[in-house]
Structure 1
Amino acid sequence: MVGDGVFPTTLFAGKRVFVTGGGSGINLGIARAFARLGADIAICGRTQERLDRAAQELGGLGARVVAKAADVRQPDEMQAAFEAARETIGDIDVLVCGAAGNFLAPADQLSPNGFRTVMDIDLYGSFNAARLAFDQLVRSRGSIIFITAPMAHVAHAYQAHVGAAKAGVEMLMKNLALEWGPYGIRCNSIIPGLVEDTEGLHRISDEAGRQSFLDHIPLRRMGVVEEIGHAATFLASPLASYITGTSLWVDGGQGLPGSGFFNRNGADFLAANPRGGR
């Protein structure tokens, strides 16, 4: 785990980290990793009750925590969340754009609203967060970490909406790395593979599918949220001070054999779950 001697527990002491979608799953795991290394944390999401539970956990790790409900699709709400963070813990040093939506849907059955919703949360939401954090990140000479997905790079069946959104986020990351580098702001992305016991995994597979996934991952296991946290703390650390515009795969080699196994399992999951985890 982070803080067990790999990194000093004071690595991010005096630093502030803002995580969108930070109330649960991978994003809470990332917030937890930074808190263990001394950072103060701001999290946002759509459900205050979930954020409050996460804030209590993060506070137990010693972090000062700001938890404010905000939908990344709503710039006014995000602006209020960033202002609350600045007023309580100071200018943010690291922004993690993690808020996302996903479900399986054949493209010929995917509604325009379903497509737009994922685009709005993932792509528009990532832009909103990055743009509204810009002034704080200029002052702190901070960094942005975008959480994307293998669908951004390899075609996956039943994921037209996710692939389009995440590919957009990947290119947004690269453009911001180019434009904002002169301000000292670094921008990178993490591409997680299948991560155990997360809401996203349950939306795209059942227990049988999850077992069959293991045969197609070179390391023969799924990731855990702590490993995504490890990657995020590395990218935000001085060890990565000359890394920007880079996509870091944290997937146990899942992307190497292609998406065929995902496509087959997706078809089986949709046959058993016609709503596709929505």
Structure 2
Amino acid sequence: MSYQSVLRPGLFEGRVYIVTGGGSGIGRCTAHELAALGAQVALVGRKQEKVDAVKAEIEEDDGTASAHSCDIREEESVRATVKAIIAEHGRLDGLVNNAGGQFASPLTGINQKGWETVVRTNLTGGFLMAREAYTQALSKTGGSIVNIVADMWGGMPGMGHSGAARAGMVNFTQTAAVEWAPSGVRVNAVAPGWIASSGMDNYPAHMKSWIRSLADAVPIKRMGTESEVSSVICFLLSEGAAFISGDCWRIDGGGSQGSRIWPMPNAKNNEPYNGFHRATTPKVLSED
């Protein structure tokens, strides 16, 4: 089997894209779709073994990828990694700023170290990756950057550190879209809602029942797939989105538009799209 993308074959032939957080979840899926569309993909992650595993998957599917270990919170590490990627692949056409992480806690339970760790990962790291991609390559050639954020409109209770960082990333997206436009660089963001991805298995056991109930808060009454996020990311990287910049696309089945006043009955005619032939269901959703 191979990735069943909705986009035309060969769309990214000869192009090179960095995908951070490419060792799992949405990043892994996006890397596979980009490779299936002809791109050379540079996988970046903190754990070498995870990006190595995805690199092997892509090569097994006849795609091209490289794997790079990098802590995106460290400026010199980011600078050196981007330089190495350009040296290995000979060019750079874009960046998918997907790496991130957080833990569940009310604001009163977050200490300074925890707050700063999440902000450095979800905001500072994304800034560093984008800045280096721009200064080392895209400022000369043009290209596209897609930042992965989250549904933080109306606040993000239980994950206030991540909500603040993601909101900052949206503002960074808007600023970079203006400052870098003269170089032919477009910068956009996507905000996934509740996506059935491996990251759901990282939360503690007491959150399992809550995670399983999330689909009830979505107007179309289901969670999204990794492929439904990846397809939008790939579109925004493509020439079809040549007049889109500084925007944030919500991929959430209308969840961010929901209202407690309006009832949400069972929905129909809403079959998910899943083009990722290696996708797996998170354990938390498959357990009895």
* TM-score normalized by the length of structure 1: 0.88
Q: How does 1:1-278 map to 2 (within 5 A)?
A: 4=4, 6-134=6-134, 135-151=136-152, 153-200=153-200, 202-203=202-203, 206-257=207-258
Partner amino acid, structure 2, of 1:89: H
Gap change, CA 1:48 and 1:237, over 3 Å in 2:
same
Determine the structure 1 residue equivalent to 2:273. none
* 1:133–1:197 CA distance, 2 compared to 1 (3 A): closer
CA gap 1:172/1:242 in 2 versus in 1, 3 angstroms? same
Q: Contact between 1:91 and 1:137, CA under 8 Å: does it hold in 2?
A: no
**How well do the aligned residues superpose, as a CA RMSD in angstroms?**
2.0
Change (3 A) 1:259 1:130: farther
Q: Counterparts of 1:150 and 1:215 in 2: how far apart (Å)?
A: 16
Percent identity of equivalent pairs? 33
Q: CA deviation at 1:98?
A: 0.9
CA contact (8 A) 2:26 2:197 kept: no
Contact 2:2–2:61 (Cα < 8 Å) also in 1: no
Task: Quote the offset at 1:198 in angstroms.
Answer: 2.1
- The alpha carbon displacement at 1:91 in A equals 1.7
Which residue matches 1:269?
A: none
| Separation of aligned partners in 2, 1:14 and 1:225 | 24
Which residue identity is paired with 1:249?
R
**1:6 Cα shift?**
2.8
CA gap of 1:96–1:2, structure 2 versus 1, over 3 A, is farther
**Distance apart, 1:258 and its partner CA:** 5.8
The 10-residue stretch of structure 1 (165-174 or 70-79) with the greater mean CA deviation from structure 2? 70-79
Q: Which amino acid aligns with 2:146?
A: I
Deviations 1:91-120 (A, max 9, x none): 211101111111111111111101000100
- Contact 1:12 1:38 survives alignment (8 Å): yes
TM-score, normalising length: structure 2? 0.85
Deviation of 1:201 after TM superposition, in Å, equals 6.2
| Structure 1 residue ranges (4+ consecutive) displaced by more than 6 angstroms after TM superposition | none
What do the CA deviations read for 1:62-102 (whole angstroms, capped 9, x no partner)?
33212110000112111221122111212211101111111
Residue correspondences, number: 259
Residues 8-36 of structure 1: per-residue CA shift (max 9 Å, x gap): 22000001010111111111111111111
Alpha-carbon separation, structure 1, partners of 2:173 and 2:37: 25
Query: Matched residues in 1 for 2:2 and 2:231: separation?
Result: 6
Higher helix share: 1
* Secondary structure at the counterpart of residue 249 of structure 2: strand
